[in-house]
């Protein structure tokens, strides 16, 4: 499916394409069966695979062509959305690209086309149901050693909200010239006759190449990146060519971080990754104990991107009046978020650590 066709399906969804043929209700994507299911009469319909001649896998797109587009950040702009089922009109945040009608619960929403906007070319469908997400959360909370027992036993999450969040992925052939210092430790006798360790430092330089594949960047500023980073990775090999039917019954959000800003963020993260890889490479080549002052000059070529919609369950719970937010990876079930801390348990763990360290120090002097 072409990018233009995908955008057309997002912005001009036809009502009959999401309508249950049995009762006329709105289909929803069912993660358990990977098909469309009517929540009213339970009629099910398969999502057809791409036809012969159409794209079978999510295609990498040329970044140099996309970078010529403008108009990425919709900010807090609003848009008018018409329900294809009841004709009700609602005003939405312009970043939302799929939702349900507040009047009739239909997901047959239509909106005006936005110029100069990129559209998704891939989606990872939900594979975890609401109940499974709740079970994953319960298991995750019980594993929090510092969380009070009362919180583990009595906490119930608010209703889960399934969302598709926008992400960029980037491929790049990197070539880096580097300079650095590496150190080798040796033991010498000090003036007091005791052994001490000294480090001899050497200057090195070199060339390092690496292909970066599918580096992921969150394309929205509306959600907590630190929390979402805890539920990664996603298996991008399981992504599907974009089809609006996968979004049926879920909220989906357009990107607010444009592709150029996304690439700038990716370059920073790739640079940090390359510094780590070069550091390890130097340690291996020179059998060194330390590496410092690594400086890289990185060049990128053959930059490609994908615009993916990734499935995430969002929810929260309250404990003693405080709100705790968490997320569940809609593909793998991995949970990330914050949980209450027991001051008593933290104090016990801290005291135990101090006792153990003190005992080890005492033993080292005795040996």
pLDDT for position 14:
30
Q: Is 200 helix (H, G, I), strand (E, B) or coil?
A: strand
Token pair 């930059």 is at which residue? 303
H or E element in which residue 293 lies: strand 290-319
Whether 271 is covered by a domain: the verdict is no
pLDDT per residue, tens digit, the chain (367 aa), is 444 444 433 333 332 345 788 887 888 888 988 888 888 888 988 887 765 555 567 888 888 888 655 434 433 455 656 666 665 545 455 555 555 554 455 665 555 445 566 788 899 999 999 999 989 988 888 887 767 676 666 666 767 888 899 999 999 999 999 999 999 999 998 888 888 999 999 999 999 999 999 999 999 888 889 999 999 999 999 999 998 888 888 888 888 898 999 999 999 999 999 999 999 999 999 999 999 999 999 999 999 999 999 999 998 878 788 888 899 999 999 999 887 665 555 566 677 777 777 777 666 666 5
In whole angstroms, what is the distance from residue 136 CA to residue 253 CA?
A: 24
Give bridge partners of residue 79 from the DSSP assignment. 92
Six token digits for residue 217: 């960047």
Helix (H) or strand (E) holding 92: strand 89-93
In a domain, 199, yes or no: no
User: Three-class SS of residue 62?
Assistant: strand
SS3 assignment, position 317: strand
Q: Is residue 87 part of a domain?
A: yes
Residue 124 within any structural domain of the chain:
yes
Contacts of 338 (CB under 8 A, 6+ apart): 227, 324, 325, 326
Q: Are 283 and 182 contacting, i.e. CB atoms less than 8 angstroms apart?
A: yes
* Domain-located, residue 116: yes
Who contacts 175 (Cβ-Cβ below 8 Å, separation ≥6)? 207, 208, 209, 298, 299, 301
> By residue range, what is the domain housing residue 34?
3-170+210-266+305-343
Closest by Cα among 49, 28, 24 to 37: 28
Whole-angstrom Cα distance, residue 226 to residue 326? Answer: 11
CA distance 74 to 149: 44
The pLDDT, as a whole number, for residue 114 is 53
Return all residues near 140 (Cβ < 8 A) that are at least 6 apart. Answer: 326, 335
What's the pLDDT at 247? 86
Taking the C-alpha atoms of 86, 91, 92 and 97 in order, what is their torsion angle to the nearest 10 degrees? 40
Q: How many domains does the chain have?
A: 1
In a domain, 358, yes or no: no
- Report the SS3 class of residue 51: coil
pTM strictly above 0.85? no
> For residues 27 and 42, what is the distance between their CA atoms, to the nearest angstrom?
9
């Amino acid at each position: 499916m072409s990018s233009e066709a995908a955008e057309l399906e997002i912005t001009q969804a036809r009502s009959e394409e999401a309508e249950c043929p049995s009762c006329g209700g709105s289909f929803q994507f069912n993660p358990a069966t990977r098909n469309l299911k009517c929540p009213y009469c339970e009629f099910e319909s398969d999502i057809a695979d791409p036809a012969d001649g159409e794209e079978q896998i999510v295609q990498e797109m040329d970044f140099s062509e996309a970078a010529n587009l403008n108009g990425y950040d919709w900010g807090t702009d609003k848009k008018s959305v018409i329900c294809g089922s009841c004709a009700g009109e609602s005003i939405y945040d312009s970043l939302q690209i799929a939702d349900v009608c507040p009047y009739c619960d239909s997901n047959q929403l239509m909106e005006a086309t936005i110029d100069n906007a990129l559209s998704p070319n891939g989606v990872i469908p939900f594979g975890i149901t609401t109940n499974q997400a709740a079970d994953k959360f319960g298991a995750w909370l019980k594993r929090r050693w510092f969380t009070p027992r009362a919180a583990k036993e009595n906490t119930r999450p608010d209703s889960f909200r399934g969302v598709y969040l926008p992400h960029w992925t980037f491929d790049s052939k990197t070539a880096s010239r580097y300079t650095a210092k590496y150190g080798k430790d040796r033991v010498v006798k000090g003036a007091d006759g005791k052994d001490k360790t000294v480090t001899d430092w050497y200057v090195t330089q070199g060339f390092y190449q690496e292909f970066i594949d599918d580096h992921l960047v969150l394309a929205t500023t509306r959600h907590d990146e630190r929390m979402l980073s805890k539920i990664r990775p996603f298996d991008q090999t399981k992504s599907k060519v974009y089809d609006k039917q996968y979004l049926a019954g879920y909220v989906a959000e357009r990107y607010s971080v444009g592709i150029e800003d996304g690439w700038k963020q990716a370059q920073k993260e790739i640079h940090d990754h390359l510094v780590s890889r070069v550091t390890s490479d130097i340690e291996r080549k020179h059998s060194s104990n330390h590496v410092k002052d690594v400086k890289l000059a990185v060049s990128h070529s053959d930059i490609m991107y994908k615009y993916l919609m990734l499935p995430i369950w969002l929810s929260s719970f309250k404990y003693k009046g405080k709100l705790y937010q968490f997320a569940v990876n809609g593909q793998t079930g991995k949970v990330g978020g914050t949980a209450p801390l027991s001051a008593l348990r933290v104090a016990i763990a801290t005291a135990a650590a101090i006792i153990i360290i003190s005992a080890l120090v005492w033993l080292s002097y005795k040996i």
